[in-house]
Amino acid sequence: MIQKTIIGLVVILVLLSCSNKSKAKQGDIVEEVSTKAQSTEVIVHYMGWYSDEEAQGKKLRHWEHGYANTPIIGQYNSQSTATLVYHALLAWSAGIDAIAVNVKDQYDHKTATALFDVIDELDSISQGSFDLKYLMSYDDQGFDLEVPLDTTLVKMNDFKDHLMVRENYLYHNNHPLFFSFDYPKKFLTAKSFRTVVDSVFQTDKPYLIWNTFGEGEDVESFVDAFYPWVQPGGEWDAQGMNWGESYLEYFYKQVNDFETPYDFVIGGVWPGFDDRNNTSWGGNRLISRQNGNVYDSTWSFVHHYNGRLPMKYVVLETWNDWNEGTEIEPSVEHGYKYLVQTIKNVNELKGSAIPENQSQFEKVKEIHDAIQINQDTISEVIKTSIQNFILQTKTKL
């Protein structure tokens, strides 16, 4: 019965794939511009910490903490081939250019390398038509606070020897990029991180991209770029109506006022925030999605940006932090709404014409189901279906 189901489903996939693929406040830094940032690339922040089975002694790793919404595909294992193919194909077909994987511990690192392998395989299957990139985002909690900063040295050497050299790693002007998610005055400082980076890299040093400033640490002298992170910028509103407008105004103005000659700034957008069901680190915090208006409002800052520094990248926050309710990944509650909104905003940003509908996402869901039924393995028939999907979707990107 399972074998017949597999054959039937993949035949359907082949047939399908052969036939088809609140305004931001205006200020000096967010004035309307006449031309779009054609060279701006879109990155999505990605969590790889979930499991649907025992992992490092924890059942339902991270799902057990609680979540605001539910994935369309249910609670998943971040290291499943079906999951990784599904996520990579969805992101790419929504016009996203790169996935930044959040890495704190060994489980996250294993997920990152598995995702990188899948993206490389999709590139190979499509003979180079699948042009999604990847990069690392190091979680500050995974580093030492005190010298000799052993874990930082280990991670930077691993990054240099095994990650930045991969075929589809994201570079800017011949330098690899990586994000650091900083917790001010808690873990690794920007100065300490820079000391380690300089000791490991003699040439081709990576861009160190940081998410905080103005919080009592000397940061500006030691990092290469900044990105904003989802927050209200002040007190959390009980009704969730403070979505971060004043914070984004402050961020984009401040990064352009720094004396350090940075090469670029990174924009940040988010759909909302909700950790009220999070029983681990949740703080009963809410940024209401307002039926998609918050996502469009944070994007509006990007579309109207006119700062001195070029905005070379925009980071979507996040793909799948279900524990904090910031996900744009398809959910039972919202369907494919936030991926369709992503397409709309990517089209405005880049002047592209990706169809603003969910039909391509539904096909990706069918591919996910086929791989899952086939014992989490990509058969030759499924591979053909993936190839057809990529080649047909490529013509619309």
pLDDT tens-digit readout, 30-60: 443 433 445 899 999 999 999 986 555 567 8
pLDDT at 30: 43
User: By percentage, how much of the chain surpasses pLDDT 90?
Assistant: 79
Mean pLDDT of 178-189: 84
pLDDT level of residue 119 (50, 70, 90 thresholds)? very high
- For the chain, the average pLDDT equals 89
Residue 206 has pLDDT above 80, yes or no: yes
How confident is the model over 262-303, as pLDDT tens digits? Answer: 999 999 999 999 999 999 999 999 999 999 999 999 999 999
Mean pLDDT of 118-142: 95
pLDDT at 183: 83
Report the alpha-carbon distance of residue 178 to residue 208 in Å, rounded: 6
- Residue 180: CB partners within 8 Å, gap ≥ 6? 137, 138, 140, 188, 193, 208, 209, 210, 211, 223
Domain ranges of the chain: 22-354
pLDDT at 54: 53
**Would you list the DSSP string of 289-321?**
-GGGHHHHHHHHHHHT---SS-EEEEEES-SS-
Computed on alpha carbons and rounded to an integer, the radius of gyration of the chain in Å comes to 21
Residue 84 has pLDDT above 70, yes or no: yes
pLDDT level of residue 146 (50, 70, 90 thresholds)? low
Report the alpha-carbon distance of residue 316 to residue 269 in Å, rounded: 5
Mean pLDDT of 67-80: 96
Report the alpha-carbon distance of residue 302 to residue 292 in Å, rounded: 16
Residue 4 has pLDDT above 50, yes or no: no
Whether this model's pTM surpasses 0.85: yes
Closest residue by Cα to residue 124 from 363, 392, 386, 360: 386
Residue 27 has pLDDT above 80, yes or no: no
How confident is the model over 312-360, as pLDDT tens digits? Answer: 999 999 999 999 999 999 999 999 999 999 999 999 999 999 999 999 9
pLDDT at 210: 96
Residue 19 has pLDDT above 50, yes or no: no
Mean pLDDT of 134-156: 84
Residue 21 has pLDDT above 80, yes or no: no
Residue 166 has pLDDT above 60, yes or no: yes
Residue 148 has pLDDT above 70, yes or no: no
Q: How many other C-beta atoms can be found within 10 angstroms of the C-beta atom of residue 323?
A: 25
Lowest mean pLDDT among 90-94, 103-107, 293-297: 103-107
pLDDT at 65: 94
Q: Which residue has the higher pLDDT, 24 or 93?
A: 93
User: By percentage, how much of the chain surpasses pLDDT 70?
Assistant: 87
Closest residue by Cα to residue 138 from 42, 50, 209, 225: 209
* Domain range 22-354, CATH architecture: Alpha-Beta Barrel (3.20)
Report the alpha-carbon distance of residue 72 to residue 123 in Å, rounded: 25
Lowest mean pLDDT among 91-100, 189-198, 374-383: 189-198
Residue 103 has pLDDT above 60, yes or no: yes
Q: How many other C-beta atoms can be found within 10 angstroms of the C-beta atom of residue 38?
A: 9
Q: Which residue has the higher pLDDT, 20 or 340?
A: 340
pLDDT level of residue 28 (50, 70, 90 thresholds)? very low
Distance between first and last Cα of the chain: 38
- Residue 69: CB partners within 8 Å, gap ≥ 6? 322, 325, 327, 331, 332, 333, 334
Q: What angle do CA 334, 336, 338 make, to 5 degrees?
A: 75
